[in-house]
Chains A and B, each alone.
Chain A
Amino acid sequence: AQTVTQSQPEMSVQEAETVTLSCTYDTSENNYYLFWYKQPPSRQMILVIRQEAYKQQNATENRFSVNFQKAAKSFSLKISDSQLGDTAMYFCAFGTNTGNQFYFGTGTSLTVIP
């Protein structure tokens, strides 16, 4: 079975600063998919960024980027120029090669301080 670990239950960052959220996972699969989801107070789940394990290049989406270290099974999320609207719970997720099964971490609650 796959496991996803987020070791930072809560984090805070000053507006306009950069913050990195950590995620590690455990799997015996060679190909898989990794995601970061954002859940604001509205509870809506929003995809932030995704990474395919067979791609070595780290994914980026505007102010969001990942540091994917396959050998270390690490998938951290970097948020640059933090904005108040980034305040949310962030979940790291692992998708199996078939895409049928998903495993989420326990989440990191991020607060952006004005």
Chain B
Amino acid sequence: EAQVTQNPRYLITVTGKKLTVTCSQNMNHEYMSWYRQDPGLGLRQIYYSMNVEVTDKGDVPEGYKVSRKEKRNFPLILESPSPNQTSLYFCASRLAGPNGEQYFGPGTRLTVT
């Protein structure tokens, strides 16, 4: 089954404790992206990757890091999480090309206390 998976689905952590949210897709997609969703703000793009070893900042990259060492994986790293990073996070992927459908993962609910 074609899908984007994210782990963990739920995470409660404390300020300053480094964490990684994994994202993996099995569709051989070149493009992958991370978004955060907050009430009243919609989804905002954090980082995106056009292919292996090619990443770039989205609209709200501060406090996040990403890497793309393999085509299928695109982890999101929070090296020192803060309460304002409490959010719902989505990973998405699609084929290269600007109008392709993005396939979204199920979301990761992160709470930073």
By a beta-carbon cutoff of 8 Å, the part of chain A in contact with chain B is 1, 4, 6, 33, 43-45, 47, 50, 52, 91, 93, 95-107
Which one, B15-23, B62-70, B99-107, is touching chain A?
B99-107
The complex places the Cα of A84 from the Cα of B10 at a distance, in Å, of 29
Whether A33 and B101, one on each chain, are in contact in the complex, defined by CB atoms closer than 8 angstroms, is no
Chain A interface SS verdict (over half): loop
Interface size of B by CB at 8 A reads 27
Whether B98 and A95, one on each chain, are in contact in the complex, defined by CB atoms closer than 8 angstroms, is yes
Whether B99 and A45, one on each chain, are in contact in the complex, defined by CB atoms closer than 8 angstroms, is no
Whether A100 and B31, one on each chain, are in contact in the complex, defined by CB atoms closer than 8 angstroms, is yes
A-B contact count (CB 8 A): 61
Whether A43 and B107, one on each chain, are in contact in the complex, defined by CB atoms closer than 8 angstroms, is yes
By a beta-carbon cutoff of 8 Å, the part of chain B in contact with chain A is 31, 33, 35, 40-45, 48, 50, 56, 58-59, 88, 90, 92, 96-102, 104, 106-107
Whether B104 and A102, one on each chain, are in contact in the complex, defined by CB atoms closer than 8 angstroms, is no
The complex places the Cα of A45 from the Cα of B31 at a distance, in Å, of 17
User: Do A50 and B98 contact each other (CB < 8 Å), given the known contacts A43-B88, A100-B48, A101-B48?
Assistant: no
Whether A104 and B44, one on each chain, are in contact in the complex, defined by CB atoms closer than 8 angstroms, is yes
Whether A103 and B90, one on each chain, are in contact in the complex, defined by CB atoms closer than 8 angstroms, is no
Whether A91 and B42, one on each chain, are in contact in the complex, defined by CB atoms closer than 8 angstroms, is yes
The complex places the Cα of A6 from the Cα of B41 at a distance, in Å, of 11
Whether B42 and A107, one on each chain, are in contact in the complex, defined by CB atoms closer than 8 angstroms, is yes
Whether B99 and A44, one on each chain, are in contact in the complex, defined by CB atoms closer than 8 angstroms, is no
